[in-house]
Structure 1
Amino acid sequence: MLFRKKSPIGLDIGSSHIKAVQLNDTKSGYELAFAEMQPLPSEVIVDGAVADKNTLIASLKDLMGRAGIKSGDAVIGVSGHSSVIIKKITIPMMTEEELSTSIKYEAEQYIPFDINDVNIDFQILGPKPDEEGQMDVVLVAVKKNIIAEYVDVVEKAGLVPVIMDIDSFALNNMYEMNYDVAEKRIVALVNVGASKTNINIVQEGIPIFTRDSVMGSNNHTEALQRELDISREDAERLKRGQTIDGVSPETALFVVTSASDEIYTEIHRSFEYFRSSVSEEEIGTIVLSGGAALLKGFPDMMAERLGIPVEIADPFRQIRIPEKLDGAHLREIAPLAAIALGLALRRVGDR
């Protein structure tokens, strides 16, 4: 892999925040250039699509201003919402070049959209165990209009989009960079954001199951609003463990716990589907990222409900943080930067 002094800027544009990370390539490894977050008003991103382009552009420019950048290459992440399909398929053995010419035909069998309305990519995982002459491939299709929206926003903010990647794959990049992927145990990389949950189950660094769902920590916010008849702002305060007049901590905790159970149930369903369709081996560890990783009690309760140890992701584990940056603060918010860091590790020409 060829290295430049600075990596592209990894942009994780979620429904509640933009997260951006850039790395410096040094002789001794990666160094953090910056990691920034910019809150977004609700309804700017809806179901993974850009609903308020002007506000999003302005917010991205604000983030860039704080980071002290005016231009640069960017890698944009997208999730498997209704406009993104991620599917593991089995096809006859062939070279990457051969698959490049036949992927459109292969994809037509699995993609529920007009094939002319999507951009298609793939990653060869390797020979399929116990099936001679067959190989496993991850097929990805993203609607062209979704790509066009994000590209337009990023360009108008002054950046140059060079790669569009999938959030779940970015999680795997982050994991490979910071953890021992040689272990044969199965690890579930789970990112619980505001409006989505990304699951990427890997073994020895190879994705063997990927699934996204439209459920996240907005569940907590909406449950608090609904059950306690309070504003969204007050609900967010309670979710973060703060207090408001008229609501006891015990009452808030009860509502948050009930909302958490819905998320755990959804993740459990994905794990059960993995066990029935991919591997009966037990998942050894969950590496949890996203805003929910910072919610009081959420990781511990997840471990208890799912019966699997939970470790909070540290995307800066193998990244040097210069003294000029606020290292303590970065460590506190690290789980939020997992996808953005994984995106920042991408290079043009990678697969």
Structure 2
Amino acid sequence: MDKYPVAWGLDIGHSSIKAVKLSRVGSTVTVLGYTIEPITVAENGDRDEAVIKAMEAMALREDFGATPVLAALSGRQVLTRTVNIPTINAKKVDRMVELEARQQIPGNFDEIEWGYHLSPAADGASNDVALFAVKRDLVQELIQKSKRAGINLIGVSVSSLAVYNFVRYDQVFAEDESVIILDVGAENTDLVCYQGESLWMRTLAVSGNDITKAFMKKFRVSFEEAETLKRQTGDSRQADKIIKVIEGSLNELTAEVQRSLGFYKSQNPNAKLDNLVISGSTFRLPGLPEYMAERLRYTVNILEDLDKIKVASGLERDHFLHDLQSLGVAVGLALQATGVSTAKVNLMPSTMQVQRLLDTKRWAAITVIALLAITFVITYFVTAKVVAENETHIARIEKFTAQTEKDAKVSEKVLAEVGPTALKLKAYNTYGAQAGVVQAVFAEVTGVLQSVIAEKGSIGETGKSILEKGDPYLQAVYLKSVTIPEYDIAGPDGPFRPLATQRDITIEVTMPKGVSSAQIIPQVKERLKKIAVPAYLSDIVGGATLFSDVEAQGDRPGDDDYWYLEKEHVDESGTSQPIQENRKVPVIVATFVCQMIGKGSAK
């Protein structure tokens, strides 16, 4: 998208709209202004109309005028997928990503707007592609609201990318360190991890509204009253009481964060996770940042200062920094509009982007028209010599036209020969099926185990703290390994039939001591048998379920271990004595064998 020297970033939230205006001069970015406009919805009123009224009031008061504005859609509205592609010629990336998008994004591909962000993968030899897709109707609704409010909307991005752009550009961390960003919005939570240019993100279901509902239940008030109470709670002396009220929602949030970061670390074993950046007005609740630091065991960084971005002298810096905790998305959007951000995804329909480009270049069209008029006048008065020269040019053009017609016939002949070859090459569209089998097995098996974990909850509490060598809080089941037989693409079945013969998938899971394996093993087995075939494998899997049969091969005792680290431990004598211990946990190891059969395959 185009770069603008001055632009607004617009974050439309559940209860308010946040906007930040930035300017860029060279490499210097400055905050020129900001505003927070409440969204007031009357009882039984139309929320969309309330949003438009708030946008109109903001645009009029802050004199938006023709200043470019970049807005964001929330993670709840956007489908996000991450795929891995090999490192290829940059000119071929767009085409390869589009092929992946058509496989990964469900529904009618012609009814969505989509974009992607490319970043190097952890293996250093491939690229991770973050795909973003949204229903075209949602983008059109935002465009129409902006038009009615008199706002010059030049693009639509994603909230998770916006807060990443802000932290990546402004907040300074070591280049070799992985940084975690946790942005809690009203309707969803964005979890982002980045190290250097590598980027990983996930949208979590727990949100600020869940905390508001906890206030509703405790104080028996309406949602709006609970939201007001949450925003007005600023007395740190009430921190313990507030944490007690929302502890259930916080436990659910921290559990989802820990599970997601566990998966991230399994994919990036060399990642150094030390710093957690928290964003969103929810973290204004007293004691909440300290609670997150204690539960997640990371250094919590509050957005309360700027490292690189300047604040204009006419703007009250302290007031802006006081509100910065809730302005991260808006700042990141304005950074993208001014052209200094890392991620540049724009979900604005491509036809509208072209039209906007033409509108901004209208002066060029006027200049062309003026030149044509001058040329016409001059031509009108040319001498006979010039006319003769023009006739010569016409003859040359006729000659070139004849040559072009001849070349066109040659091209038609070549295309006639290329057509049948293109049909043969179309078979390569299914080349990714092998990768699809591996991905489906891993994703669906992980999903089954996560559902069991969610039902069983945490186990292993002994009454002793972990310093007294008590057991840590454990899950009911862990994935130990997934073994998928190698597929010989050079074999007689070729590279396009990964399920030409039956393939037996071996899955090993572990259960901590104290868990009833007699309950867990049948439960896992039944859920494995019920996994539905993903849409992108429906053409090759021979049945309605991913596995045609699942057998439990028995269980055996074993051990698992974990490292306990306490860098600042002080012994009874007051001496600093860091602890680093490898502790073992007795487990039961269960084995499952799952059969995969393709359409028409041999057993």
Q: TM-score normalised by the shorter chain: which range applies?
A: 0.7 to 0.9
Q: Which residue of 2 aligns with 1:48?
A: none
Q: Which residue of 2 aligns with 1:270?
A: 260
Q: State percent identity of aligned pairs.
A: 25
From the two aligned structures, give the one with the greater strand fraction: 1
- CA RMSD in angstroms, aligned pairs only: 2.9
Residues 224/326 of structure 1: CA separation in 2 closer, same or farther (3 Å cut): same
Residues 233/2 of structure 1: CA separation in 2 closer, same or farther (3 Å cut): closer
Residues 251/187 of structure 1: CA separation in 2 closer, same or farther (3 Å cut): closer
Structure 1: gaps spanning 5 or more residues? 45-50
Q: Which residue of 2 aligns with 1:283?
A: 273
Q: Deviations over 1:258-295 (max 9, x none)?
A: 33222222222221222234446342110111112212
Contact 2:11–2:329 (8 Å) recurs in 1: yes
Contact 2:5–2:24 (8 Å) recurs in 1: yes
The answer to whether the aligner puts 1:162 opposite 2:154 as a matched pair is yes
**C-alpha deviation, 1:69, in angstroms:** 2.4
Q: 1:80 aligns with which of 55, 67, 75?
A: 75
Residues 68/103 of structure 1: CA separation in 2 closer, same or farther (3 Å cut): same
Relative contact order: is structure 1 or structure 2 higher (C-alpha 8 Å, sep ≥ 6)?
Answer: 1
The answer to whether the aligner puts 1:172 opposite 2:172 as a matched pair is no
Q: Which residue of 2 aligns with 1:199?
A: 191
Q: Which residue of 1 aligns with 2:8?
A: 9
The answer to whether the aligner puts 1:92 opposite 2:86 as a matched pair is yes
Q: Which residue of 2 aligns with 1:296?
A: 286
Residues 127/231 of structure 1: CA separation in 2 closer, same or farther (3 Å cut): closer
The answer to whether the aligner puts 1:123 opposite 2:113 as a matched pair is no
Equivalent-residue separation in structure 2 for 1:251 and 1:348 (angstroms): 44
Equivalent-residue separation in structure 1 for 2:10 and 2:221 (angstroms): 32
Equivalent-residue separation in structure 2 for 1:296 and 1:260 (angstroms): 14
Equivalent-residue separation in structure 2 for 1:346 and 1:102 (angstroms): 25
Equivalent-residue separation in structure 2 for 1:255 and 1:331 (angstroms): 28
Q: Which residue identity does 1:135 align to in structure 2?
A: N
Equivalent-residue separation in structure 1 for 2:121 and 2:214 (angstroms): 46
Contact 1:220–1:259 (8 Å) recurs in 2: yes
Residues 36/315 of structure 1: CA separation in 2 closer, same or farther (3 Å cut): farther
Contact 1:90–1:128 (8 Å) recurs in 2: no
Q: Which moved more, 1:180-189 or 1:333-342?
A: 180-189
Q: Deviations over 1:157-177 (max 9, x none)?
A: 112222211111112211122
Contact 2:23–2:338 (8 Å) recurs in 1: no
Equivalent-residue separation in structure 1 for 2:140 and 2:118 (angstroms): 26
Equivalent residue of 1:68, what SS?
coil
Q: Which residue of 1 aligns with 2:142?
A: 150
Contact 2:274–2:298 (8 Å) recurs in 1: yes
Residues 93/253 of structure 1: CA separation in 2 closer, same or farther (3 Å cut): closer
Equivalent residue of 1:333, what SS?
helix
The answer to whether the aligner puts 1:235 opposite 2:226 as a matched pair is yes
Residues 162/233 of structure 1: CA separation in 2 closer, same or farther (3 Å cut): closer
Equivalent residue of 1:259, what SS?
helix
Residues 285/169 of structure 1: CA separation in 2 closer, same or farther (3 Å cut): same
Q: TM-score, normalised by structure 1?
A: 0.86
The answer to whether the aligner puts 1:70 opposite 2:65 as a matched pair is yes
Structure 2: gaps spanning 5 or more residues? 346-603
Equivalent residue of 1:286, what SS?
strand
Q: Which residue identity does 2:317 align to in structure 1?
A: G
Contact 1:241–1:296 (8 Å) recurs in 2: no
Q: Which residue of 1 aligns with 2:313?
A: 323
Equivalent-residue separation in structure 1 for 2:31 and 2:330 (angstroms): 12
Q: 1:306 aligns with which of 286, 290, 296?
A: 296
Larger radius of gyration: 2
Contact 1:289–1:335 (8 Å) recurs in 2: yes
Equivalent residue of 1:345, what SS?
helix
Q: Which residue of 2 aligns with 1:38?
A: 37
Mapping of residues 179-258 of structure 1, within 5 Å: 179-180=171-172, 183-207=175-199, 209-240=200-231, 242=233, 251-258=241-248
Q: Which residue identity does 1:84 align to in structure 2?
A: V
Equivalent-residue separation in structure 1 for 2:105 and 2:305 (angstroms): 33
**C-alpha deviation, 1:23, in angstroms:** 0.7
Contact 2:119–2:198 (8 Å) recurs in 1: yes
**C-alpha deviation, 1:194, in angstroms:** 1.8
Question: What is the count of residue pairs matched by the alignment?
Answer: 337
Residues 175/139 of structure 1: CA separation in 2 closer, same or farther (3 Å cut): same
The answer to whether the aligner puts 1:336 opposite 2:331 as a matched pair is no
**C-alpha deviation, 1:4, in angstroms:** 4.3
Equivalent residue of 2:140, what SS?
helix
Residues 215/16 of structure 1: CA separation in 2 closer, same or farther (3 Å cut): farther
**C-alpha deviation, 1:127, in angstroms:** 5.9
Equivalent-residue separation in structure 2 for 1:337 and 1:127 (angstroms): 30
**C-alpha deviation, 1:241, in angstroms:** 5.5
From the two aligned structures, give the one with the greater helix fraction: 2
**C-alpha deviation, 1:144, in angstroms:** 1.1
Equivalent-residue separation in structure 2 for 1:14 and 1:43 (angstroms): 17
